[in-house]
Amino acid sequence: MSLSRLTGDQVIPTWYDQTTLHPIGLIAVFLLGIATLVVPRRYALAPMLIMACFISPAQRIVIASLDFNLLRIMVLFGWLRVIVFAEIRRIEWKRIDTIVILWVVIATVVVTLREATAAAFIYRLGLSFDALGMYFLFRFLIQSWKDLETLMLVAAIISIPVAAVFLIELSTGRNMFAIFGGVPEITVVREGRLRCRGPFSHPILAGCFWAVMMPLIGGLWWNSRWVRWFAPIGLVASAIVVFSTASDTPISAVMAGALAAALFPLRRSMRWIRWSTVLGLVALQIVMTNPIWHLFVRIQLVHGSTGWYRFKMIDGFLRNFSEWWILGTKDYSKLWPQPFDSITNQFVLEGVEGGLVTLTLFVVLLALGFHGVGRIVRSVRNSKSRQIMAWMLGAALFAHCASFLAVSYFGQIVMILFLTLAAIASLSPPDRRLVTARTRARQRSSRASKPTFPQLAHPPIPVRTCRSADESPA
């Protein structure tokens, strides 16, 4: 995942590559790190969520040009846990795991070859640590439906104080997390509305973070126990955060997640729905004067939306395919004549940084995520509550895809993407091809281990046994 920074209402922060550590941040990472080691496994992700929601990413320690923000340090605590408690042995390998590794490795190789600098390689190593470290840590920590339910419950509980903090910022116009650095003390105003952000680097990222969490929190409602009552509370709290950011991208993500969740009764007809959607988009492209991505200009949910900016970015990206498809490009002026400060589209970012191969692997990764959700739903047909919980994972992933069209991920929200994909991979049934390959390998090894005897030139003469004294030979 790239750390490309968004254009926003202030200058790009300069707190990268330098140690910034507030005493509260130091105490928080120490206590939450210890909690990660000692709590039961199903609660091990709670400290990481707390760190992401209450500590600014500007809090970091730089050692020999290696940049460790506090969330990365929490990942190290998590890996220490799975190694010490031997939880590293308990996953079933899936195709999506392979694609994650290929996506990260190829992106690193492409960027390093293009830039040909040690700084670029170190930068990509940091992103690779985030991707692989978080994804496989979550694969080890989410092993059952109970783990997923606990994660939903923890998210719902955490959303309550987060909403309170955002309401305080909305009413006062001041961000209390400014003491950690990385966020302005005075909340930015656009079109007469405060754009709250809390500890996040940008209001859009704060809103998208909780927009994606809403389907997961909503999945608690179909639990038969007392935890179901946290679902409406968490949904209201998350909605407060989303709307206090005054951004149309999080609202679009909420709408996408709600639409995906509403399709659960039609889950057996999803193939027809997908193809109908594709054909509808093709028909729309034929009848429209402008390309279909020009709809970004026409759709405006919040005053001050930058839809035209996003349209021109996608348009230049597709029209200048030859400039980026091999190794990406670092000269954006060849793609967009007008100067753009950043790339606010994750798909465009994957292409211009890693080329066509990286972009293709990213799309395949998302496709395998949706495919995994379908396989989970079919494998738990006898439990409607589990079907709904699995479907909510798909709704969260669909909300991610809606966000990708208007924002590139960096900071805390990266964790939620890998959390969603890892949960899908952990709960999906084993891949048939991998199971068949393992079965054949076991059969070959068992045949090889059986003792063999040399064949005789003449078969032995059968000896008739005597059943009684009368039958004995004279």
Higher-confidence residue of 360 and 336: namely: 360
**CA 463 to chain CA mean position, Å:** 71
Q: How many domains does the chain have?
A: 1
DSSP 3-state of 68: strand
Of 25, 53, 352, give the one whose Cα is nearest residue 197: 53
Query: Is the four-CA dihedral 299, 358, 278, 264 of positive or negative sign?
Result: negative
At 177, list the tokens: 């997390």
Query: Residue 313 has what pLDDT?
Result: 85
Share above pLDDT 90 across residues of the chain, in percent, rounded to a whole number: 57
pLDDT digits (tens, 9 = 90+) for 249-274: 999 999 999 999 999 999 999 999 99
User: Is 80 exceeded by the pLDDT of residue 3?
Assistant: no
- What is the reported pTM? 0.86
Query: Is the four-CA dihedral 437, 439, 444, 448 of positive or negative sign?
Result: positive
- Asked if residue 17 is part of any domain, the answer here is no
- Asked if residue 32 is part of any domain, the answer here is no
- DSSP code for 144: S
- Asked if residue 16 is part of any domain, the answer here is no
pLDDT digits (tens, 9 = 90+) for 47-79: 999 999 999 888 888 887 778 889 999 999 999
Higher-confidence residue of 467 and 92: namely: 92
DSSP 3-state of 67: strand
pLDDT confidence of 139, banded at 50, 70, 90? very high
**CA 436 to chain CA mean position, Å:** 29
Query: Residue 353 has what pLDDT?
Result: 92
pLDDT confidence of 140, banded at 50, 70, 90? very high
Query: Residue 12 has what pLDDT?
Result: 42
pLDDT digits (tens, 9 = 90+) for 198-251: 999 899 999 999 999 999 999 999 886 788 899 999 999 999 999 999 888 999
Query: Residue 403 has what pLDDT?
Result: 93
Phi-psi region of 465 (alpha: psi -120 to 50; beta: other; left: phi over 0): beta
pLDDT digits (tens, 9 = 90+) for 100-121: 999 999 999 999 999 989 888 9
Residue with tokens 């959390």: 419
pLDDT digits (tens, 9 = 90+) for 297-332: 666 665 555 677 788 888 888 989 999 999 998 888
- Asked if residue 99 is part of any domain, the answer here is yes
Query: Bridge partners of 60?
Result: 20, 69
Q: Mean pLDDT across the stretch 425-450?
A: 68
DSSP string, 230-247: HHHHHHHHHHHHHHHTT-
DSSP 3-state of 21: coil
pLDDT confidence of 473, banded at 50, 70, 90? very low
Could you tell me whether strands 188-190 and 60-63 are parallel, antiparallel, or unpaired per DSSP bridges?
unpaired
Rounded Cα gap, residues 429 and 377, in angstroms: 10
Per-residue CA distances from 222 to 71, 227, 230 (Å): 32, 9, 11
User: Which run of H or of E encompasses 36?
Assistant: helix 23-38
Q: Give the burial string for 346-358 (b: 16+ CB within 10 Å, else e).
A: bbbbbbbbbbbbb
Q: What is the largest CA-CA distance in the chain?
A: 118
Query: Bridge partners of 66?
Result: 63
Q: Mean pLDDT across the stretch 339-348?
A: 82
User: Is 90 exceeded by the pLDDT of residue 450?
Assistant: no
Higher-confidence residue of 32 and 343: namely: 32
- Asked if residue 1 is part of any domain, the answer here is no
User: Is 70 exceeded by the pLDDT of residue 2?
Assistant: no
Share above pLDDT 70 across residues of the chain, in percent, rounded to a whole number: 84
User: Is 80 exceeded by the pLDDT of residue 474?
Assistant: no
Residue with tokens 């080329």: 355
- Asked if residue 445 is part of any domain, the answer here is no
Query: Residue 471 has what pLDDT?
Result: 44
Task: State the average pLDDT for the chain.
Answer: 85
Query: Bridge partners of 63?
Result: 66
Q: For 12-16, 76-80, 174-178, 392-396, which range has the lowest pLDDT when averaged over its residues?
A: 12-16
User: Is 70 exceeded by the pLDDT of residue 341?
Assistant: no
Of 365, 353, 364, 291, give the one whose Cα is nearest residue 325: 353
pLDDT digits (tens, 9 = 90+) for 361-376: 999 999 999 999 999 9
DSSP string, 163-205: HHHHHHHHHHSB-GGGGGSSS-SBPEEETTEEE--TTSSSHHH
Query: Residue 447 has what pLDDT?
Result: 61
- Asked if residue 458 is part of any domain, the answer here is no
Identity of residue 251:
I
Query: Residue 11 has what pLDDT?
Result: 37
Contact 368, 393 (CB under 8 A): no
Determine the structural domain holding residue 383 and report its residue range.
95-430
Rounded Cα gap, residues 191 and 25, in angstroms: 34
- Asked if residue 23 is part of any domain, the answer here is no
Contact 399, 215 (CB under 8 A): yes
Rounded Cα gap, residues 161 and 275, in angstroms: 42
Query: Residue 6 has what pLDDT?
Result: 38
